[in-house]
Chains A and B, each alone.
Chain A
Amino acid sequence: MITENDDVLGLVERVKNGNQEAFMDLTRLYQKKVFIVAYSFFRNRDDALDIVQETFLRCYQKIHLFKAGKSFRNWLLQITKNLCVDHYRKNHRKNHVFLKDINIEDMAISQLEGSSFSESAEVRELFARSLETLTERQRMVFVLKHYNGLHYKEISEVMRVALGTVKSLHFKAVQNLRSCLSPHFGEIE
């Protein structure tokens, strides 16, 4: 059984030589990470599974472009990010929810306190809808940070943007989410 501490570069080399078993080991190692990025971005299981399959297919086709010395995980998540954005533009953009379209009144949250707040199904729905109002890049930075546990530096590698841009996109994402959620914060205060 391969773990993350094993020699990923060795696996990559074997995959380059067409070793199917090594490819399946790489898939085993990173499939959940790729899935979580895609699921937290789309919040749709089937879309996320499609992205996982497409990511590893693309990874196999382009593996000779991967340069030793770089992080394989970040390279792979870069492919995932690109596929998510393409998929989103093709299938989801027309359904994009704008901030003004969210009817906050329809999603009244009962008076909740303390720890039960984040567990509430209503809060989850409201939050998920608020997340949909973000731009592609803000949403990607937010999900990479919050649901995939990546640091700004890693996100900047995955998204191929400057560190300052990541910081600013994260700040804007949080600000926008706050604007969506603030009426409810007011209710529970």
Chain B
Amino acid sequence: MKGCRETKKNMAAFLGGEMDPQQQEKLETHLKRCSSCQKEMRAMEKVFKSAESLTPEIEEVVSSVNWDRLPAKIADAMTKEPGGSEWHAPQREHRGMFLQPWFRPVAAALLVGVLLGAISTVLVLRPVRVERASSRKFTAPEDFLERVEIEMARRETIKYLDKSQFLLLEFIQNTPESPSPLWQDDFSSKNIRSLLSKKKYIDPQLDKFKMVKAKAICDQVELLFYELAQIRDVMTDEEIQEIQNYIQDKQLLLRIKLVKRELEKSEI
């Protein structure tokens, strides 16, 4: 029920008499309507009630102490402190200028100034060394580099499958009655060409990291795109229907979706 979370959060404050009248009224109104919160409130009340079980014990222990003697006992103990042979006024802690609270921001500002000065002096006066970029070696642990490569391959493959899925979806929806505008211009042929060249780029990575499932579906899609790139300009309605049937028979879109999901889950 709406408001349960807020009500439960305020129950301890309510039972402890810490709520303003307006909030209290709101909580009480909610309580009248909500059996779950009523149950919760009863449990909380029991905690409060069981807390009272300690009160008699505390009172009993309090009454067992000799309170009249205690102040003198404490004062006596203080005179027995090291250097406290007799009662003396409390010593004001003497703080030098450097320990005064007002001095702290000044000291911090000075320190920052000195540090900045030192850093700029070092930067300005240090001998300029011209190093050839190629002479610097970048080193990183081998397994780290491999993980980076796998991650890049994974992302590239997901991108490739994404774009392929989009194009195939457009192609499926293409009917003689309502031809998809996407397939009427050069846009899709450019996309197909770009996907074919991308596939050449991701191929070695798919082989290297043994991404078998992804490789299989990418190969199949590539084959289809080859066909489309060759015959697209002169496609008849029957040919379009045939390729659409092929896409559906092979469940290409579903398989792309599954492989994509699998790749997304295996994020490094």
* A-to-B contact residues, CB < 8 Å: 15-18, 20, 23-25, 27-28, 31-32, 35-36, 39-40, 43, 45, 48-49, 52-53, 56-57, 60-64, 117-120, 123-124, 126-128, 131, 142, 145-147, 151-152, 167, 170-171, 173-174, 177-178, 181-182, 185
Contacts and interface: CB of A to CB of B under 8 A. Distances in A.
Given A17-B89, A170-B12, A57 B74 contact: yes
A36 B65 CA distance: 12
27 contacts: A17-B89, A27-B70, A27-B71, A31-B70, A40-B54, A40-B58, A49-B65, A52-B70, A53-B73, A64-B92, A118-B50, A118-B52, A124-B54, A127-B50, A127-B53, A146-B48, A151-B18, A167-B13, A170-B13, A170-B16, A171-B12, A174-B48, A177-B47, A178-B47, A181-B46, A185-B43, A185-B46
Q: Among A24, A36, A118, A170, which residue has the most Cβ atoms of chain B within 10 A?
A: A118
A120 B53 contact: yes
Interface string B1-31: 0000000010111001010000000000000
B90 A61 contact: yes
Interface stretch (B75-83, B119-127, B192-200, B203-211): B75-83
B91 interface: yes
Interface residues of B, number: 42
Interface of B: 9, 11-13, 16, 18, 43-44, 46-58, 61-62, 64-65, 67, 70-75, 77-78, 81, 87-93
B211 to A, nearest CB: 46
Contacts of A185: 43, 46
Contacts of B90: 15-16, 18, 60-64
Contact of B78 (A60, A127, A151): A60
A27 B205 CA distance: 80
Contacts of B52: 118
A184 to B, nearest CB: 8
B78 A57 contact: yes
A181 to B, nearest CB: 6
Interface majority SS on B: helix, strand, loop or mixed? helix
A62 B90 CA distance: 8
A49 B80 CA distance: 17
Contacts of A49: 65
A53 B74 contact: yes
A174 to B, nearest CB: 4
Contacts of B46: 117, 178, 181, 185
Nearest to A44: B61
A57 B92 contact: no
A127 B13 contact: no
A83 to B, nearest CB: 14
A145 B55 CA distance: 13
B65 to A, nearest CB: 7
Contacts of B81: 57
A16 B93 CA distance: 12
Given A64-B92, A117-B50, A124 B57 contact: yes
A62 B74 CA distance: 16
A52 B71 CA distance: 10
B67 A171 contact: no
A152 B17 CA distance: 10
A61 B90 CA distance: 6
Contacts of B70: 27, 31, 52
Nearest to A147: B58
